[in-house]
């Protein structure tokens, strides 16, 4: 029953009849489907340079589904040495996956709707992370939930571009033409903002400089 209710809500949303879950993004410039001429191709080995604070926008482009962008804030910092290498948790059973290696750890927050998995602070399964050329927004390994997987296609000194997809797991969305969709996709843009702009995304620490130093802030 719970699954059918959720599927109904998602279907209505796709048709433009459901609750508003997005709004006009607050962006510095239009988010295009391809990086502009001034951007350079992103290489996974330079992921550490992406540390910092961003305002981002996720523009959906799946045919037949709602095309209203979602926006939010993102904070990324260099992962500690323990998480830069894949490892298995001490209590994990044989069928459970290892904690994957990553270059950056982070948290995010949407502007117009709440998703606790974006703001997760579990050091093994954070709300945001960069692995190779992929930025994951939302926590992994949650029943009936999958993160936004952003493949980073271009960067500049203060912007990131990419394309994203999100599996809907057990849910199928029917668009206005009656065509079922098991995933959504679109393009992604992010613009650097001041480090203090995302201070509210991380827990308070006794020394205000401790978070800045640990997270690689300037």
Q: pLDDT value at position 175?
A: 64
Residue 74 tokens read as 């993102």
Q: pLDDT value at position 113?
A: 85
Spatial contact of 173 and 65, defined as CB atoms under 8 Å apart = yes
Angle at 191 between CA 186 and CA 194, to 5 degrees: 145
Longest Cα–Cα distance of the chain, Å, equals 55
Q: pLDDT value at position 207?
A: 46
Q: pLDDT value at position 188?
A: 96
Q: pLDDT value at position 105?
A: 95
Q: Give the pairing of strands 159-167 and 173-174.
A: unpaired
Q: How much is the pTM?
A: 0.75
| Residues 6+ away with beta carbon under 8 Å from 78 | 48, 51, 103, 104, 105, 215, 216
Q: pLDDT value at position 144?
A: 67
Q: What is the DSSP string of 77-125?
A: EEPPGGGGS-B--TT--TTSPPBPP-SEEEEEEESSS--TTTT---SSS
Burial of 38 (0-12, 13-18, 19+ CB in 10 A): exposed
Burial of 187 (0-12, 13-18, 19+ CB in 10 A): buried
Quote the CA–CA distance of 96 and 140 in Å, as a whole number: 13
Per-residue pLDDT tens digits of the chain, which is 218 residues long: 444 434 433 333 333 333 333 334 444 457 888 888 889 999 999 999 999 999 999 998 877 767 789 899 999 999 999 999 988 777 666 666 788 899 999 999 999 888 888 898 888 889 999 999 999 999 887 766 789 999 999 999 999 999 999 887 666 666 667 666 567 889 999 999 999 999 989 876 544 444 444 444 54
Tokens 């080995």 map to which residue? 45
Report domain extents, the chain. 2-82+99-214
Spatial contact of 120 and 147, defined as CB atoms under 8 Å apart = no
């Amino acid at each position: 029953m719970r699954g059918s209710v959720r599927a109904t809500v998602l279907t209505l949303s796709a048709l433009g009849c459901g609750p508003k879950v997005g709004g006009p993004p607050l962006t510095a410039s239009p988010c295009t489907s391809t990086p502009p001429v001034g951007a350079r191709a992103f290489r996974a080995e330079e992921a550490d340079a992406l540390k910092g604070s961003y305002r981002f926008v996720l523009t959906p482009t799946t045919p037949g589904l709602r095309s209203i962008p979602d926006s939010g804030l993102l904070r990324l910092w260099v992962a500690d040495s323990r998480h830069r290498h894949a490892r298995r948790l001490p209590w994990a059973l044989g069928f459970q996956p290892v904690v994957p290696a990553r270059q950056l750890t982070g948290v995010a927050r949407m502007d117009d709707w709440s998703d606790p998995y974006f703001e997760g602070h579990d050091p093994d399964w954070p709300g945001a992370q960069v692995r190779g050329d992929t930025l994951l927004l939302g926590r992994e390994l949650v029943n009936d939930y999958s993160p936004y997987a952003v493949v980073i296609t271009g960067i500049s000194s203060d912007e990131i571009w990419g394309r994203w997809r999100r599996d809907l797991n057990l849910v199928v969305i029917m668009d206005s033409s009656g065509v079922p969709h098991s995933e959504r996709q679109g393009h992604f843009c992010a613009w650097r903002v001041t480090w203090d702009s995302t201070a509210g995304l991380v827990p308070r620490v006794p020394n205000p400089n401790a978070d800045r130093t640990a997270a690689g802030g300037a």
